[in-house]
Structure 1
Amino acid sequence: MKIVVQVRLFPDAAQQAALQATLDLCNAAADYASAEAFQRGVFTKQALQRLTYGRLKDMGLSAQPAIHVARKVAGAYAALKANIRAGNLGKRGSRRRVKAESKPITFRRNAAQPFDDRCLSWQLAARTVSIWAVGGRLNKVLFGCSDQQYAALAAHRRGESDLVCRDGKWYLYATCDIPDVQTNQPDGFLGVDLGIANIATTGDGTRYCGKGLNRIRHRNQRLRAKLQKIGTKSAKRLLKKRGRKEARFAADTNHVIAKRIVTEAERTGRGIALEDLGGIRDRVRLRRPERVTLHSWAFHQLGTYVAYKAARAGVAVVYVDPAYTSQSCSHCEHVSRKNRPNQSTFQCTSCGFAEHADVNAARNIAKRGVAGWAAVSLPNAA
């Protein structure tokens, strides 16, 4: 499996100026290649490279950076087409989709630029890198990382690394190809119910992030609304800064929750059953305040973190249909809306079984996980 290791660069003033000039040129070249691709309808990597290579070289790029710029542009158009096919930009004729399709893709000044081993070399023992730049190759650019990241770089770094400038700080995102771990045969499944009042709840009764996290989320929502209403340039700048802070907070929280869930499943020899929440924003019908709460948390990110951490630990993961898991009794399987009189309470109208509503839903997800795993593994065993 592939993971990304983020390392911080510590360039001096001259190196920093050279790196900035390099990103500026690469992204200006990407804008040119994008305009050519849009005008001529050429979007494949090789065709776009043949079309723009000479001009990109004339702009001051060396051979490999010019190739990577063309590939970056082709990848951006491929991602756009994939989003259109998936319906992420709305239906045909919608304002958002028309806007995306009616003009070339543009690149930010500090958009990431990929470098391969011909343009970037690592001196791990010295904690430095040598990287191609516009004015000449930069040697002995210091980087910093944790011991765990260093071990991953030394043993598994393969392929490209992306140069990124974020908030005036420089980073390299290095791709590491870690050998796959054999998935262990699970002895049952740990069901995980994702929600709003509790971000995640397991069938064992563990509830992650309740009132404390929701207070922070609601405070952030109020601050966003206040800044959006003000609408000044400084308010927009602060809104952008707060958005990055909230994204870091959400990612850190999701990492912690995912690690604890995977650790518990690994300790007990079970697999993990998750809800398949694809398209939930289109399916769910909620009032405006509830929609804001639903859309302000990265549930997909949490599921992704659980999946990749489980893969590294050899823990099986299955995705199940979440339909009626909150209305079904995990004891007798009776389904009724009346089984859930309020958000936190589940009380079966058939057998009288009572439990926290999210715990009951997680147990139903675990049962479906067992059935789903059997459907996948039994044909292979045969």
Structure 2
Amino acid sequence: GTMRIVYKGSKIVAQVVYEVNEPEYTDDGSAMGVDLGIKCPAVSYTSDGSVKFYGNGRKNKYMRRHYKYLRKKLGKAKKPDAIKRINNKEQRIMKDIDHKISREIVETAVVHDVKVIKLERLANIRSTTRTSRKNNPSLHTWSFYRLAQFIEYKAKLAGIKVE
């Protein structure tokens, strides 16, 4: 691989890039279906009948509402740099939550010896669902695609196919 040394603020960070061989897929019929949602970020059902809920949608909604309130307050105080900083913090927190949920899903699949994870296709969900003033903010800040991407790459590393 390659290594690059960069400065991040006052720290020196080494970034290492390496390749991992993807394991070969075998299909023995065991599968896991994952349903993505807003109130519960993910629910999995394995072919052996196991159901598991992941994440806390209420906590996610609270975090978004809290940071929206802070941005509004800082906007009135005319502090654009602070707004940018807390917005980035909110994004990092949400990305971390998606990483944790995806890791948990893939670990559950490995424990149940699942060979295929099936995700629902949510490509046009924002235009096809019923919208309301109450529902819009959570629908338009829902990171289902990012979560699906995280599940996909972590499953690939574990030798699990994603459909």
**Alignment length (residue pairs):** 157
2:91 is aligned, of 243, 247, 251, to 247
Q: CA deviation at 1:191?
A: 0.6
CA RMSD of aligned residues (A): 2.6
Q: Secondary structure at the match of 1:288?
A: coil
Please say if residues 163 and 171 of structure 1, whose CA atoms lie closer than 8 Å, have aligned partners that are also in contact: yes
Tell me which amino acid in the other structure corresponds to 1:241.
R
In structure 2, what is the Cα distance between the partners aligned to 1:164 and 1:283?
Answer: 45
CA distance in 2, matches of 1:233, 1:173: 37
Change (3 A) 1:266 1:225: same
**Cα deviations by residue, 1:167-196 (Å, 9 ceiling, x for unpaired):** 665545443221121112243211100001
Question: Which residue in 2 is equivalent to 1:190?
Answer: 32
Answer with 1 or 2: which has the greater Rg.
1
Structure 1 vs Structure 2: percent identity of aligned residues?
25
Instruction: Please state whether the residue corresponding to 1:233 is helix, strand or coil.
Output: coil
Per-residue Cα deviation, 1:143-183 (whole angstroms, up to 9, x for no partner): xxxxxxxxxxxxxx25x859574x66554544322112111
TM-score after normalising by structure 1: 0.37
Residue 258 of structure 1, CA deviation? 1.2
More relative contact order, 1 or 2 (CA 8 Å, 6+ apart):
2
Q: Is the 8 A contact 2:41 2:54 kept in 1?
A: yes
Amino acid at match of 2:120: E
The equivalences for 1:1-382 within 5 A come to 157-158=1-2, 163=6, 165=8, 171=13, 173-203=15-45, 204-210=50-56, 213-228=57-72, 230-234=75-79, 236-270=80-114, 271-318=116-163
SS at the partner of 2:34? strand
Point out 4+ residue stretches in structure 1 off by more than 6 angstroms. Answer: none
| Greater fraction helix | 1
Structure 2 unpaired stretches of 5+:
none
Query: Do the aligned residues in 2 keep the contact of 1:186 with 1:316 (CA within 8 Å)?
Result: no
SS state at 2:106 partner: helix
Whole-Å separation in 2 of the counterparts to 1:169 and 1:282: 44
Q: How many angstroms apart in 2 are the aligned matches of 1:209 and 1:257?
A: 6
TM value normalised by structure 2: 0.79
